[in-house]
Chains A and B, each alone.
Chain A
Amino acid sequence: MAPSSARSRAADRERRSGGRHSASHGHAALTPYLFILPAFSVYAALILYPLARAAQFSLFSWDTISPAVFVGFQNYVDLARNEELRNSFVHAFVLIFFYSVLPLSVGLVIAAILNRAKVRGMTFFRTVIFLPQVIAMVVVAVAWTRLYSTDGSINALLDLVGLGSLSRAWLGDYLFALPAVGLIGSWVETGLVTILLLAGMGRIPRNQYEAARLDGAGAVRQFFGVTLPSVRGEIAVALTLTIVAALRTFDLIYMTTQGGPGTSTTVPSYEVYYQAFQLSQVGTASAIGIALTILIFGINLVINRIADKATNDVAS
C-alpha cells in the first residue's frame, strides 16, 4: 500500500471549513451509516482489531505452545537492550538515507534542470522512470541479485573502468550488503520522487523566474529562492512515501539477503516475521511491530507538522 498522510492534512483543512451540505436533503438518518457499514465492518475486523490485538500480544511472553505469560513492558525493554533487535532499527534508518534522502537530492536537481528547458520525449521519460514502482519487489530483487553477483554487470563495470580490485559478491559482504540493498531502494524510489517534483515545479508561474532573473539571480539562486520554496508540499509527500517504504522493507530483504550475512541487513519488518514465525517469539514480534507502527505514525506527524508550518509561514 502507498500510505500518504499529506492526505490527513487536507482532510483536516476540509473538516475545519465544515461540510458543504446540510442534512436537509431528506436522507433517512440511518442512510449514511448503512453506506459505511460494509467498509467499516471489514476494516474494523481486519485492521483495527488486529492492531489492538498486536498491542495486547506485545505485553505477553508467548511461544505459541505453552500458555502466554503477562510480562508488562518487558518485551519493549528487551527490544532496547537486545543489540541485534536494536541494530535492525539502525539498519532501517540507514535505508531511509538510500530510499529517501538520496532520491530526493537527486530528484530535486534533475527536476529543476528539466524544468528550465522544455524538451521532447517527457512522456516516454516519465513512463520509463516510473516503471520500477510497478514491478513486483520480488522481481526487482531477482534482477538486482543478478546485477550484484560476482559475474554480474556491476562488477563487470568496475573491471571496465579499471577498478576491478573492488569487485566482490556485494550482497554477501558484511560492510557492503546493507548499502547494496539500499541502492535497490534508491533505484525504485528516484523515479517516483522525480515525477512528483516535476509535477510540482510545472505549476510554478514562469514570471516568478523572470522576476528573479531581473533581480540578477543566477540558476542556483533561482533554485533556492523560487523552486525550492514552491515544492515544499511535494517534498513532504515524497518524504512520507519513501520513508514509509524504507521502514517497510520486507520482500527485498527476504529475497536478497535474509538479513545476512550474519545480521548485517536485518530490518524491523524482517524481524517481525522471523521472531513470530521462525522463532515463535510472538510477544517480541508484536512489540517490534508496534514500535514500527509508532515510528511510522510519528514520522508522518513530524513531516506534516513541518510542512504545514512552512506553508503557513509563506502564507503570512
Chain B
Amino acid sequence: MTSHREISLNYLILAVFSVVSLWPVVTILTSAFGPASSDAGAGIAGLHPENFAAAWEEGHFTQYMTTSVMVSTLVVVLAVVCSVLAGYAFGTMTFRGSGVLFYLFLLGIMVPAEVIVVPLFFDLRRLGLIDTIWAVALPQVAQSIAFGTYWMRTYFRSSNRSISEAARIDGASSGQILLRVQVPIARPAIVTLVVLLFMWTWNEFLIPLVMSPSGKMRTAPLGLAFFQGRYSTNTALMGAAAVLVALPVVIVYLFLQRHFIRGMVEGAVND
C-alpha cells in the first residue's frame, strides 16, 4: 500500500532532517579547518589542521584534558561499582525498607545539580576540598549512582536467576555470585551504563565551574568557555578547540551508538 510518493516523501524528510542536524556540526568543522589569520598561507589542500595544534597549545588543553580524563575515570569507576552492588541488592534480594530506600535513589535522578551545588560549595570549602578532584568528581559520582542504581536494578530484576541458584547450591556467597557469575553476563548493561556516565561526566559544566574557582581542576568544557573569553573573534581557533572538546564523546558514540540510544531512549520506555 506504500506509494512511490510516500517513499519519496520519506527520503525528502530524512534528507532535510539530516542536513539540519549536521549543519552546525559542519559549520564548526569548516571554521576549525579554515585559515586562522590572513597570513596562514594556503594550508594543505586548503585545510588548516595546524589550528588544532595551535588551539591545544594556546588553550592549555594538555592540563584540561588530563583533568577531564581523571575526573571521568574516577566518576565512572566509583559510580559503576557502587551501582552494580546496590542494583544487585535491590534487584535480587528482599529486605525490610527496600521500597523506601529505592524511592530515595529515584528521587536523586530528579534533583537538579543547581540546587545542591550552592550548599556543597560552602560545605566542601569548609572541609578544604574545593579545587581538588574530589569536589569536582564526588557530586557527579552521587548523581551517577542515583541513575546507575536504577539502571542496574532494572537489569538484575530481569536477569536469569537459575544460574545464581546453581552457584548458590555449590556454596558460593552473594559476593562471589555477583562477581563471578552475574557481572560477566551483565556486561552489555554495564557497558551502556559506562558510556552514558562517561558522556554525562565529560560534558558536565556547572559542577566543575563551581567546584574549581581557581581553575586548578578545570575540565575540558570549562577550558573551552575560558578559551572563548580570550579568542572569541578567532573563529578558526575557537572551532578547533570546540572540536577537540567534543571529539572524545563523539568518537565513543560513533563506535557504540547503539548503547547511547538504547540507554537514553529504549531504557526509558521499556521498563
Residues of A at under 8 Å CB distance from B? 1-8, 10-11, 14-15, 19-23, 25-27, 29, 31-33, 35-36, 38-40, 42-43, 45-48, 50-51, 53-54, 56-57, 64, 110, 113-114, 116-119, 121-122, 124-140, 142-144, 146-147, 152-153, 187, 191-192, 194-196, 199-200, 213, 233-234, 237, 241, 244, 247-248, 250-251, 254-255, 268-269, 272-273, 276-277, 282, 285-286, 289-290, 292-293, 296-297, 300
Take A25-B168, A42-B138, A200-B269 as given contacts and tell me if A272 and B114 are in contact as well, using a CB distance cutoff of 8 Å: yes
> What distance in Å separates the Cβ of A12 from its nearest Cβ neighbour in chain B?
9
- Flag whether B45 is at the interface (Cβ < 8 A): no
Which residues in chain B, 137-187, are within 8 Å of chain A measured between CB atoms? Answer: 138-139, 141-150, 157, 161, 168, 174
Interface residues in B94-143 (C-beta closer than 8 Å to A): 94-95, 98-99, 101-106, 108-123, 138-139, 141-143
- Nearest-CB residue, chain A, relative to B108: A47
B271 touches A39 (CB 8 A): no
Residues in A whose Cβ lies below 8 Å from that of B138: 42, 46
Complex alpha-carbon distance, A262 and B72, angstroms: 36
- Cβ-based interface call for B57 (8 A): no
Q: Given A46-B138, A46-B139, A234-B269: A135 and B114 within 8 A (CB)?
A: no
With a cutoff of 8 Å between Cβ atoms, the chain B residues found around residue A143 in the complex are: 24-25, 27-28, 242
Whether the pair B115, A289 counts as a contact (CB closer than 8 A) is yes
Are B118 and A43 in touch, CB under 8 angstroms? no
Chain B residue contacts of A289, Cβ below 8 A: 112, 114-116, 118
Contact call A54/B115, Cβ cutoff below 8 A: yes
Q: List 28 A-B contacts (CB under 8 A).
A: A5-B110, A8-B103, A38-B81, A38-B85, A42-B145, A43-B146, A46-B142, A47-B143, A50-B119, A117-B10, A119-B10, A125-B18, A126-B257, A129-B21, A132-B24, A134-B249, A135-B203, A139-B243, A152-B27, A195-B265, A200-B269, A213-B1, A237-B269, A251-B221, A254-B225, A272-B114, A273-B209, A289-B112
Give the contacts of B48-96 with A (CB-CB under 8 A): 78, 81-83, 85-86, 88-90, 92-95
Task: Kindly list 13 other residue pairs between chains A and B, CB separation below 8 angstroms, not including A119-B10, A130-B260, A296-B112.
Answer: A4-B268, A20-B157, A21-B94, A42-B78, A43-B104, A43-B108, A50-B123, A57-B118, A64-B122, A143-B25, A247-B112, A254-B225, A290-B115
Give the interface centre of A36, A54, A187, A195 by most chain B CB atoms within 10 Å: A36
A137 to B93 CA separation, bound complex (whole angstroms): 40
- A286–B102 alpha-carbon span in the complex (Å): 26
A296 to B110, CA, bound (A): 7
Closest to B244 in A: A139
* List of B residues within 8 angstroms of A250 by Cβ: 114, 205-206
- Chain B's interface size range is 35 or more
Known: A31-B174, A47-B108, A282-B122. A139 touches B246 (CB 8 A): yes
Q: Which 5 A-B pairs give the minimum distances between C-beta atoms?
A: A289-B115, A53-B119, A46-B142, A35-B89, A39-B86
Rounded to whole angstroms, the CA-CA distance of A2 and B6 in the bound complex is: 35
Cβ-defined contact, A192 with B265, below 8 A: yes
